[in-house]
Copies of this chain bind each other. A is one copy, B any other.
Amino acid sequence: MQALPGFRDFLPDDCAARNYIFTQWRNVSRRYGFAEYDGPLLEELDLFVRKSGAEIVKQLYDFTDKGGRAVALRPEMTPTLARMVAASHRDFRKPIKWFSIPQMFRYERPQKGRLREHYQYNCDIIGEASPDADVELIAVCIDILRAFGLTADDVVVRISDREFWADFLRAQNVAEDRWQQVLEVIDKSEREAREKTAERLGDLAEAVFRILEEGGRSEKLDRIVDGLRQRGLADFVKVDLRIVRGLAYYTGVVFEAFDRAGKLRAIAGGGRYDNLIHQLSAGSASLPALGFAMGDVVLGELIRENAAASAKMKATMARDQQLDVYVVIAKEERRGHAVAQVQELRDRGYRVDYPLTEAKVGKQFQTAEHLNAEVAVLYGDEWPQVKVKRLATRDEQLVPHEELLARLVASSTLSSRAERSGVEGSRGSSER
């Protein structure tokens, strides 16, 4: 029996890789002053239909629950966020800066970069109309990519502005009810033959192509790029008016992050959606807002394909999965002392393992190596001394057992590990 198609099992290495991604997402968000929230994985179906239309249902895991409610596994976070903000925004100072790492579900054919579930970092600023909020949001996106060891040579954030196109369409006397269709054609123009795009654009084709090829002037986008330049992040961005994002609800600056090599789907995308909370909350809250999302699947592919990023991930994972001490029991009559020592070390925040049953000493050392223990401590004939072996250097020392803890604490690598573990009084206890 296997997992359902498009769903992942996370064996320990996979889980550590997933958690590595979560940790960078969390750390950068917190450095930017964003607070974490979450919502239910299951919501009323109508919440999603109200945002995206009835079309969305065929991509959803939707069903009727035992209470007769039409429900769905969440395909995206924004409707839940809007619901929560509408209910509680009066309790929070503006701007509200929130992030979340929800798991999302879509019934689609699984393919490269796209499964039926993924984890999707969501980051939103609510209640701030200033373009500096757009700069702040794009900066978080870039700094997250940097946290993974990616550089401006690896990734690019292409930024654009829906208002630029609104001004253009107004100037061209295009009726508002045709705007969304034109924007969708522009959105697809990169992936479609020029003739086909021209045909769909009709009389607008020439003017649109001129902008796409020669660029357009946008003071707002210049200001955004200047803001990123002040932060030293301008190398990561490119104004590109072809980015419009298909979704109808964007109202201003929009952006998407890509690998420079252009081999993968978009890594992240988002923008300003000043009217959406009003619409989704049926008018009960009216707040300018902007946000972006980044999924773990495409990002994971990019990290694995990038030498520096994958080296950074592996080094962090190895350090994180490492055991501090493996206690080797060479004489069963020492088990009692050994186990008491295991407990004391764990109480101090060390990661410690030992054989739960009698085993040959050679096999115990193999286990210690396999678990990537920094130190093995042997309880045997030397008692009341114990043998401390540093596995990387094979360096061995005999230590009176009552001095073991002090010796380990004096070792700089082992003491800092214990400090950052969740031990009583430690500062790092809830750093996730």
Contacts and interface: CB of A to CB of B under 8 A. Distances in A.
Contact of A42 (B4, B28, B343): B4
B103 A30 contact: no
A272 interface: no
Contact of A429 (B27, B39, B422): B27
A10 B37 contact: yes
Contacts of A281: 1
Contacts of A169: none
A102 B37 CA distance: 17
Contacts of A97: 353
A256 interface: no
Contacts of A343: 139, 230-233
Interface in A25-75: 26-28, 30-33, 35-44, 47, 58, 61, 63-67, 69, 71, 73
A39 B15 CA distance: 9
A427 B27 contact: no
B421 A30 contact: yes
Interface in A107-129: 107, 117, 125, 128-129
A357 B128 contact: yes
A263 interface: no
Interface stretch (A182-190, A208-216, A217-225, A313-321): A313-321
B356 A130 contact: yes
B1 A41 contact: no
| Chain A interface extent, by class | 35 or more
A349 B431 CA distance: 13
B357 A31 contact: no
Interface string A11-32: 1101110111011101110111
Contacts of A88: 11
10 contacts: A1-B83, A20-B430, A23-B422, A31-B346, A130-B356, A133-B357, A230-B340, A231-B339, A416-B427, A420-B420
Given A1-B44, A30-B421, A35-B12, A19 B430 contact: yes
B41 A117 contact: yes
A43 B3 contact: yes
